[in-house]
Amino acid sequence: MHGGLRGIRADYRAALGTTGRALAVPALRRVVLAFGLASAVEAATWVAVGVFAFERSGATAVGIVGLVLLLPSVLFAPAAAALADRHRRKRILLIAYVAEAVTVAGTAVALWADAPAPAVYGLAMLATLALTPIRPAQGAFLPSISRAPADLTAANVSLTTVRNLGLLAGPIVAGLLLGVGGPAAVFGTAAVLAAGACGFLARVPGDPPRTAVATSTTASIVEGARLLIREERGALVVALTFAKHIVLGAIRPFLVIIALGLLGLSQSGVGLLSAALGIGGVLAAGTTVLLIGRRRMTSALILGALLLGVPIVAIGAWPVTAVAVAAMIVCGVGRSLIDVAARTLLSRVSPEDAVARFLGILDGSSYAGLAIGSALAAIVVGAFGIRGALVACGAFLPVVMLVLAAPLARIDRGPLVSRDRLELILGVPMFAPLPPESIETLASQLQSIVVDAGTQVITQGELGDRFYVLASGAARAEIDGRVVSTLGAGDGFGEIALLRDVPRTATVRVTEPSQVMALDRTRFLAVLMEEATSYGEAERLADERLAGDRADGRTAEVGNPDRETV
């Protein structure tokens, strides 16, 4: 047991250390803190609007109101993510945070003025809608303000940590304020917190303008969906996340119904159960840190499904306050495990230029699951009673996981990276002879760089530290200012300086907005030297270029010697 306790303490020290790394970078710190405040606002206002609906119209209304609040977000989420792929990410984030602050404040005014219920629900719906673009835009924005890959990893873990803290603090604050000033006090306080989030984000440096694209937002969404379907593992992850959110959507009204209708608690009891769900997320922090870099993620998905579903069954079987609080804590752990594992898997299989759209589809399916779960909660409670509905809800996700056991197992057996990265590596002749595991290793370590027309990717005479592959766009190689070769999508360049340990023999300049994938010198050489055939192919290619270019006094590091030389 003592060793186990030491392990748990080590996990939490790792979680705190990772969060500390992200908070040490000013721009990341402000993004993380803003997201934490937004999470607290979301959790607190959901408690308040649920209590408002229950007191006005009873248990069934809680689920129906949840559906009404979430349905617009279901429709908007994919478009919001497409916007993040087309426009400056900080601008999208700031607009979303300001819209949240304004609509939450408007809801508070409506409650204080005793406005009609539809007006209150309409404003609360707009507040929920304002949150929709935040996660995909945030996920796409972080790389531009991270100093190193480790900072980006730390930021992603920290965002999960502060979200769980927000989901804990929000219901606690709501529970305290409901007993004092009712839902209006909760929304008023939430508006102040939302304004604080705007203040944090406003001080974050902006990202560069996005390259203009010819396709419409609708076409971008359709293309993102097509890419996701092509990545079968990504589609499965989205489906599982959808199922998880059906359960979470049912839990939201259930928290109100359990506290006020089943256990006979006061309004503050709703905040107590909601806070217990947040406590579970905080307790899961040490466990989710262990998922970083882990190959097998489906075990975490299965465990998370059990931890999210079985405790809900327990509440239906033993409807006492202590059981309900403990069950919600365990549910919070399960929710966090599924969330981190699913997002990690999706990021592994996502093409670089579709990350925000994939995350938007994930979030859109999540909102759809929450809406459907909220509506089903009202229907199932009416059909089976509160206790029967809890048993049915809790059994749903474990059954889904059982049915999908075989496809889930295939996720872990497949490659960890997206198909487009694998195809890019396989298209480079020197890499083609490598074994599958080496191909996957190279693909996973590619770093995406988006460059504007005219940018020099490598400069003649400089020391070489990376190998490059042109994923999209076009470029040209220049020696002493003269164009000697052209490059297109799939071409690699920069290997001569790495293989021969000499300065760069040419300048490579992109001629249109392009995406370049970079591979560190150490990894490039280590993988090639593991396979004699690949190393020989690389040496042959380098010799061929050097010999051909010396014939007329030129030496160019370009990836396709068959292209026409200018």
Q: Over the stretch 229-245, which tens digit does the pLDDT of each residue have?
A: 776 777 888 888 889 98
Q: Which of 116-125, 482-491, 554-563 has the lowest mean pLDDT?
A: 554-563
The pLDDT value recorded for residue 116 is 93
Q: How far is CA 96 from CA 126, 537, 563, in A?
A: 11, 51, 47
The pLDDT value recorded for residue 126 is 93
pLDDT tens-digit map of 93-116 = 899 999 999 999 999 999 999 999
* CA angle centred on 368, ends 152 and 100, rounded to 5°: 60
Mean pLDDT along residues 449-466: 86
Mean pLDDT along residues 61-88: 74
User: Is the pLDDT at 532 greater than 50, yes or no?
Assistant: yes
> What percent of the chain clears pLDDT 90, i.e. is strictly above it?
22
User: Residue 239 contacts by C-beta under 8 Å, 6 or more apart in sequence?
Assistant: 365, 404
Q: Report which DSSP code applies to 516.
A: E
Residue predicted with more confidence, 562 or 268: 268
pLDDT bucket at 555, cuts 50 / 70 / 90: very low
Place of tokens 């023999």: 505
Of 293, 308, 182, 189, the closest CA to residue 245 belongs to 308
Mean pLDDT along residues 56-83: 76
User: Is the pLDDT at 3 greater than 60, yes or no?
Assistant: no
Q: Which of 75-89, 247-261, 416-430 has the lowest mean pLDDT?
A: 75-89
* Edge-to-edge strand list for the sheet holding 447-451: 447-451, 514-520, 466-472, 492-493
Burial class (CB in 10 A: 0-12, 13-18, 19+), 488: middle
pLDDT bucket at 32, cuts 50 / 70 / 90: confident
Residue predicted with more confidence, 275 or 531: 275
User: Is the pLDDT at 325 greater than 90, yes or no?
Assistant: yes
Across the chain, mean pLDDT equals 78
Mean pLDDT along residues 413-434: 72
The pLDDT value recorded for residue 194 is 95
User: Is the pLDDT at 157 greater than 80, yes or no?
Assistant: no
Burial class (CB in 10 A: 0-12, 13-18, 19+), 454: exposed
The pLDDT value recorded for residue 309 is 92
User: Is the pLDDT at 180 greater than 80, yes or no?
Assistant: yes
The pLDDT value recorded for residue 76 is 76
The pLDDT value recorded for residue 29 is 86
User: Is the pLDDT at 7 greater than 50, yes or no?
Assistant: no
Whether the CB-CB separation of 444 and 457 falls below 8 Å is answered with: no
> What percent of the chain clears pLDDT 70, i.e. is strictly above it?
74
Mean pLDDT along residues 336-342: 79
Residue predicted with more confidence, 344 or 153: 344
Q: Which of 33-47, 292-306, 498-512 has the lowest mean pLDDT?
A: 292-306
The pLDDT value recorded for residue 549 is 53
Residue predicted with more confidence, 508 or 3: 508
The pLDDT value recorded for residue 427 is 82
Q: Which of 66-75, 284-293, 373-382, 486-495 has the lowest mean pLDDT?
A: 284-293
User: Is the pLDDT at 40 greater than 90, yes or no?
Assistant: yes
The pLDDT value recorded for residue 219 is 61
Q: Which of 270-279, 350-359, 481-490 has the lowest mean pLDDT?
A: 350-359
Mean pLDDT along residues 495-517: 86
User: Residue 61 contacts by C-beta under 8 Å, 6 or more apart in sequence?
Assistant: 53, 54, 378
Q: Report which DSSP code applies to 207.
A: P
Domains and CATH numbers, the chain: 2-204+217-413 (1.20.1250.20), 419-550 (2.60.120.10)
Residue 174, amino acid: A
3-state secondary structure 370-396: HHHHHHHHHHHHHHHHHHHHHHHHHHH
